[in-house]
Amino acid sequence: MANDKKLVEEITPMAEDFAQWYTDVVKKAKLTEYSGVKGCMILLPNGYAIWEQIQKNLDGMFKETGVENVYLPLFIPESLLQKEKDHVEGFAPEVAWVTHGGAEELEERMCVRPTSETLFCDLYSRIVQSHRDLPKLYNQWCSVVRWEKTTRPFLRSKEFLWQEGHTIHATAEEAEERTVMMLNIYAEFCEKYLAIPVIKGQKTEKEKFAGANATYTIESMMHDGKSLQSGTSHNFGDGFAKAFNIQYTGKDNTLQHVHQTSWGMSTRIIGAIIMVHGDDSGLVLPPRIAPVQARIVPIAAQKGGVLEKCSEVLSALKDVVRIDMDTSDKSPGWKFAEQEIQGIPLRIELGPKDIEKGKAVVVRRDTREKIVVEIDRLNEELPVILEKMQEDMLQRAVEHRDSHTYEARDYEEFKDILENKPGFVKAMWCGSRECEEKIKEDTTATSRCIPFIQEKISDTCVCCNKPAAKMVYWGKAY
């Protein structure tokens, strides 16, 4: 048992050092490994399996709205990137450049894609001629490279996995409808599959995506009260279309520019799962996204009939839940600790006495509640227990967010909350960049979003006392 205890003690308590707790969980749950390439992570099977579940479910939601998957090149010629001035300026500090092919210097530098707007624009300019060609609803699953100076697994790395959707439409109204639709899909996905509640809203002009007319975001609160931008959807209007000459012949036989959107979610969302649901024993995975939903742990496996019965149960349940069995020669305590660290939602304990009684002990990862279930009813009861766990995890996350969301009516109160109470602060804003920058300078907090559902906290801006334009969620963020 000493070794069993040691396995958990290697995770720093989150109350002691949240950043170290996060790193410990990532490492001990075997999600990633450090790479020989500084600032890049290796996704291990446990980590990649979570991404596969995210990809599978999110991809299905996209396709229900008519989205098709494509794949575009990794490299972008510099001349192509330069066509949209605001866009290239926004990404310039993070761009990685290829200057040589073998021993020869390239005639033109190639950018390793930080995002693919320009490539999609070039594609659309080639394949769209008529209104009959619209809309184009494309998405790609790929990796991108951004030369980050400070990196952390999942949250920020030089290369990461994501999906990026790029659509074009005949009208501004259709583009806006698609932009909001995709944001709503992200919000539904986070709440339905990840048990993460989100705030939906618009980014300020200062915080919006480079080259966009408007950026919409979903913001989620981590256990330490910090915010994580969990998905974004951008309306580009016809700015990129004009820069890349993407035109179509309308029904009235006139040439018109298309209207464009872009939207994305990355492996950063795995960091959110860790920081919203994890505890001092490790990862806690929401059942709907968990690659393994239940693990059978044989007790006294050396005794006759135990492994045989466990294998029989495994076969009976494999079409009901995603399930595996720990057949290693480690002690039961060690197996329990590993299951908890890896965040597997349910543990099924089966030993000689359980088998004799025809019962199994089912242990929930989130609450550690032990539920005795008849072996013959596991196929009926496990889905019910998993669904209850999923609902409970979402409810706890909602309660945590709501209990750490505050209102401020004047600047002293605003600063005091941000200094002493981790979480979101709802406060009014006049709309000026000067106030936004002053708040960041004074508190390190940023505007997280202008929520779609507005509230009137007061009549004046929390920073300058001038008439307020909007209520904004403010907070410190990853």
Inter-residue contact 240 to 274 (CB < 8 Å): no
Q: Work out the pLDDT band at 86, boundaries 50, 70, 90.
A: confident
- Verify that 245 and 310 share a domain, yes or no: no
- Verify that 110 and 253 share a domain, yes or no: yes
Domain of 443: which CATH number?
A: 3.30.110.30
- Verify that 190 and 325 share a domain, yes or no: no
- Verify that 373 and 432 share a domain, yes or no: no
Segment 286-339, tens digit of pLDDT: 999 999 999 999 998 889 899 999 999 999 999 999 999 999 999 999 999 999
pLDDT at residue number 4:
52
Domain that holds residue 302: 294-384
- Verify that 148 and 175 share a domain, yes or no: yes
Domain of 91: which CATH number?
A: 3.30.930.10
Domain of 369: which CATH number?
A: 3.40.50.800
Segment 105-144, tens digit of pLDDT: 999 999 999 999 999 999 999 999 999 999 999 999 999 9
- Verify that 304 and 435 share a domain, yes or no: no
Segment 231-286, tens digit of pLDDT: 999 999 999 999 999 999 999 999 999 999 999 999 999 999 999 999 999 999 99
* Average pLDDT of the residues of the chain: 95
Burial group, residue 244, by CB count within 10 angstroms (0-12, 13-18, 19+): buried
Segment 418-477, tens digit of pLDDT: 999 999 999 999 999 999 999 999 999 999 999 999 999 999 999 999 999 999 999 999
Considering the entire predicted model, what is its pTM? 0.95
Segment 44-56, tens digit of pLDDT: 999 999 999 999 9
- Verify that 232 and 97 share a domain, yes or no: yes
pLDDT at residue number 61:
98
Burial 70-95 (b: 16+ CB within 10 A, else e): eebebebbeebbebbeebbebbeeeb
- Verify that 211 and 240 share a domain, yes or no: yes
Inter-residue contact 428 to 462 (CB < 8 Å): yes
Residue 400 lies in a domain: no
Q: Work out the pLDDT band at 1, boundaries 50, 70, 90.
A: very low
Residue 153 lies in a domain: yes
Joined tokens for residue 330: 């480690």
- Verify that 211 and 357 share a domain, yes or no: no
- Verify that 363 and 413 share a domain, yes or no: no
| Count of domains for the chain | 3
Residue 1 lies in a domain: no
